[in-house]
Structure 1
């Protein structure tokens, strides 16, 4: 009771003092004398009572700089020095908290603090990659104002983002300022802007931009000129491209043979062989001569259109210019002649090729073998195989598959199997196409047991088996009344399909029945009903 009365007295005294102080501030400039201290034993008892009822008083929590509280960023960031804010900036960038990091850079700039430049560069690139271009541009400006020099990769990211969004004026503005900020643009920078303008079909503007850069003394990057000319040629035509080429030459950016070959390649790929005539005179005027790439590009275009007279003219020009046809040249000729079914002339070129000391490669032989097999010239194809083996020319999988498939289709399974065995001895593993060809050949020769065994072998080694191959073998087995084996193949077919299609199996049963094999079709259908793939009888 004494303790309670003591505290009540103190409370009343303080309330009176406070009330008087508010009403009459001029008469109470000093506080009343403090109450006498409590005895130690009373103080200790009071603290214990308070702790039991309301818990121990909370200790003050020190500030941390690793994560801002839920306060306006300015209030929080402004409380820290430059080192603490940069530590926080690095953490925010690392955690991907881009908005907060960008806000921190803003606040640091207002406080006169220098932000961590590597973090700023990372922030700009990440913001640009995520199309937050306004923030990226603002961070760039703050970085430059603080004395930082972004690297060319950072600039290129931002310029690329602006071009991607069609903000070409802003992109050009940044490029124009790069040199004065200590980081001159490079070939990638210029190509980004040129392609960005071209993507918006602003080809004149792209040409004007590149001319301006040349006039300002930037290096005459031929890559930029070539990219620009290709884009103009592809979209505005070869005449316009040649005009721009001459304009760029006057600005000191002279074309080279690669530039001319690129233009010829563009027009030839579009099938406009005649347009190459606009390029050759300029090429010669600038002191260049067509090279093998030039001739091969034109030959490819002419051959694809079957213009054999012009092809002969180009070949004559090559020889006059002392450019012997290369293996690429001959492959272009042989491939095109085979497509036009001019196989005799293709073989003549092969002989000429060998006589001139130009060794055919595997592409040459595979092209000829494919054409021979299509024309049912199987004997000649086998002779080519023998020639290749005798001359140490390694055969590849596609070589064997081409001839094995042709033999199987012809019904010469014996020769196909011999070639299959040779393939194994040469260390070449057959694939599903090889096996599929042999299965078809076996079925064609009523060797259904062998066909079924090969399918089982394919299943063991997890080779893909097409549904049509299963159907072919099942039909062949049913024709020979080997229903049990047909059901075994049906088991393989069902187990290989993750989602068996009722339509496919129903069609298979109907097809077997349609050929008069009602009994066999019924057996297959019973098995499929047992597998719960089919629900009701469809035969009969």
Structure 2
């Protein structure tokens, strides 16, 4: 596949002379099946001669207007049409009833001559409408008129049956063709190939295709047998009746039509289907070879061909090949359509490359195309994922101007973004604008309700649930279940049960998910007695509670130390035929161990073994944890020693439990012994390192904690954000600020995004590194508000603080060049980053740019400007800011005073530094005195 681009030869002269198709530019291409039929219609001369202009009545009459014509008027109309115009009028009918009425009036004309083209149109419309009985009658009528079924007839029947999901029945028409002596032409073959592809029968599709190319049509491998049709099934019965009727071809035709000479496909649609089939089968090389064969055969690829190839490359991660194919389209003057750009947008969206997605979204419009629902969905989902609120709102506004709307699948995604960011007013406005009247499905309503519920906003979730809906739109069970869960999360138990009781009156019956939610809710809410009642109601309703449902109630009783009641549920569980699993046994072990009843805990451990469940980490870990809760470390240690003699010995989880037990008791040497054994056996994981770091830090052994952290970093086990956070926190506590920043840079290089815990640790590091308190407050506020550039500004500040200037400026440039509307926080960070790296002119230019955008300098701005002036020796700038501070045009601030002192010293003005230092001490000593006097008064 790496050489895919090599299979496209240079553009030949005759291809260069082909004019570009306007349909590719302005109108989306039709589906593959309709495109095939379109080709076939031309093959049998179904389309009217371009020189034959339809009569005025035919051109002006709409399909709906036929309903209002009486038979006489309709006879007059069709009597004045030639056969081609009659065909056009028939094809315009989308309603099968109007079509049959029109067809009957045509046949009633004395001069009408039955023809296969008209029958094919009728068969197609009836098949699309799944009017199988009417289709059977039409087939019989066709036989009575002596009309032989053509390739187009069979292609039509195969197509409509296949699209109705009746794959076997569709393929049985091949046997019917063979029995009638009709050999499938390329369009019919392609229709069969598409059905086999869509049903996942790739090997059969390839075999059928190759057999057709060799001049033979084998059917045995398709396992087609009329006798397997289910006569009880209406569609199968009607199909068997169809096979009994129909005009047979002459015997000479049947005998001569069984074998043909080898042939090659000549239609681009055939190669499109073949390439798509290989792509869906994961046979990338075969798809590429089919594409190359198409070009060698002189069959010009169309937009669908390139779209299919680009999509195959996208699905297999071959980005460069997809781009090269787009260039080949341009070379061959095959104009891309909206789907082409959608495929490329989807490819880059999966990688999170928003710039590339926006580029192709823009190219769609530059090409004279209109972005469709898929284009908008890709953009909206990616912008929501990145929390780019303003860009999202601009995109939606642009969509509305184009007459598009937010599609149903995107509505809950946008709502969730607003809700997660706390932009509840925006969420409400969006919901009222795009969901007013309930124009979305219950599934998506449930997703919106769940988004509110996750944030504890049960009132807003309730507003969505109880909002007005379109007439005929009924709430599905999924909405009730999600709303019940929302009440449960918010501990609004009365509302949850009230909703449960009203479900039946609304015509919605609870399912097993409803009961499980209520039981889990009551169990978590420490209401095991009521949970037990609902287990009974669940069983009375015909549902069988799962093991997890029983275990939740057992856990609830266990937390309340109601041992006998927990055992009653355990016995009821077994009586219901639900076998306890390791979790249930672990709960019982924990319950008895916490009550000091170790023998009973061991009893249930033995019951687990007797039930055929092999001793495993779940129960053993539960037993060790249970011992740890009652500080029975000796018993836990004995059990751990026994585990060493079992099979391969203790697993990682059991060992980590023991380390954790020792860590909680401050038993350093015992924990270290197990940790060393795990090292020796190559069993150490991230939990082991994290627990040992916690133990050393809790005992004040910071050097040892740092050593473990460094070993953790070198172990290759830093594979997720949580593991990085553990090491980062250890470095932060030990004051290793540079190591912290280097670790964070490594984390970003591994494409692991920092999370909230990471940034919490970074703020601690910034405080320890001497960043002004006011600057840290600004960064925290920007982060909590979810500003799109907040993370980059925090990272820039950290890297600047530890003098990792290259990385600091890289982060800084990422938000300066992103096109966001920046605030003073972002400008402050950028000024500091350039000033700290020695690029004073750039820092001052940013200060001027900040003022040009109407942003006034704040306290942090002055602090960072002072640093720039000091490094550049700009004494006048320092005096000006000092004057503003001295005459209280800037509120006195200790951080700014210290920044001035440091700046004067850096500039070699030690006398002025001493003067400012004395002024600072006097100012804050006076302030404290005044405050003390006020307190005395």
Q: 2:328 — aligned with what?
A: 209
User: Within 5 A, what are the aligned runs for 1:459-470?
Assistant: 463=578, 465-470=580-585
Q: 2:488 & 2:214 partners in 1: Cα distance? A: 64
Which residue of 531, 546, 549 maps to 1:431? 546
Give 3-state SS (helix, strand or coil) of 1:347's partner: helix
With a CA cutoff of 8 Å and minimum separation of 6, indicate the structure with the bigger relative contact order.
Answer: 2
Which residue of 295, 309, 313 maps to 1:192? 309
Compared CA separation, residues 163 and 305, structure 1 to 2 (3 A): farther
Query: Which stretches in structure 1 are left out of the alignment for 5+ residues?
Result: 1-114, 123-145, 536-540
Contact 1:388/1:395 (8 A) holds in 2: yes
Is 1:301 the counterpart of 2:417 in the alignment?
yes
Q: 2:534 — aligned with what?
A: 419
Q: 2:413 & 2:588 partners in 1: Cα distance? A: 47
CA RMSD for the aligned pairs? 5.1
Deviation for aligned residue 1:282: 5.4
Q: 1:262 & 1:513 partners in 2: Cα distance? A: 51
Q: 1:175 & 1:190 partners in 2: Cα distance? A: 15
Q: Does 479-488 or 196-205 show the bigger shift?
A: 479-488
Compared CA separation, residues 314 and 232, structure 1 to 2 (3 A): same
Compared CA separation, residues 421 and 501, structure 1 to 2 (3 A): closer
Q: 2:372 & 2:263 partners in 1: Cα distance? A: 41
Contact 1:337/1:343 (8 A) holds in 2: yes
Deviation for aligned residue 1:366: 2.3
Q: 1:337 — aligned with what?
A: 452
Give 3-state SS (helix, strand or coil) of 1:199's partner: coil
Give 3-state SS (helix, strand or coil) of 2:538's partner: helix
Which residue of 338, 356, 360 maps to 1:241? 360
Give 3-state SS (helix, strand or coil) of 2:494's partner: helix
Deviation for aligned residue 1:430: 0.2
Deviation for aligned residue 1:288: 4.0
Q: 2:433 — aligned with what?
A: 317
Which residue of 387, 403, 406 maps to 2:518? 403
Contact 1:242/1:279 (8 A) holds in 2: no
Q: 1:222 & 1:351 partners in 2: Cα distance? A: 39
Deviation for aligned residue 1:260: 3.1
Give 3-state SS (helix, strand or coil) of 2:319's partner: coil
Which residue of 554, 563, 567 maps to 1:448? 563
Contact 2:450/2:482 (8 A) holds in 1: yes
Q: 1:274 — aligned with what?
A: 390
Deviation for aligned residue 1:212: 4.9
Compared CA separation, residues 484 and 300, structure 1 to 2 (3 A): closer
User: Within 5 A, what are the aligned runs for 1:58-207?
Assistant: 117-118=213-214, 148-149=264-265, 152=271, 154=274, 164=284, 173-177=292-296, 180-181=298-299, 187=304, 190-196=307-313, 199-202=317-320, 204-207=323-326
Compared CA separation, residues 204 and 426, structure 1 to 2 (3 A): same
Contact 1:338/1:346 (8 A) holds in 2: yes
Contact 1:160/1:193 (8 A) holds in 2: no
Q: Does 226-235 or 305-314 show the bigger shift?
A: 226-235
Deviation for aligned residue 1:338: 1.5
Compared CA separation, residues 487 and 452, structure 1 to 2 (3 A): farther
Q: 1:231 — aligned with what?
A: 347
Deviation for aligned residue 1:304: 3.7
Contact 1:303/1:333 (8 A) holds in 2: no
Deviation for aligned residue 1:424: 0.9
Is 1:495 the counterpart of 2:495 in the alignment?
no
Deviation for aligned residue 1:421: 0.8
Q: 2:895 — aligned with what?
A: none
Deviation for aligned residue 1:163: 9.7
Which residue of 577, 588, 598 maps to 1:473? 588
Query: Which stretches in structure 2 are left out of the alignment for 5+ residues?
Result: 1-210, 219-261, 650-937
Compared CA separation, residues 227 and 459, structure 1 to 2 (3 A): same
Deviation for aligned residue 1:515: 3.7
Contact 1:172/1:193 (8 A) holds in 2: no
Q: 1:510 & 1:240 partners in 2: Cα distance? A: 55
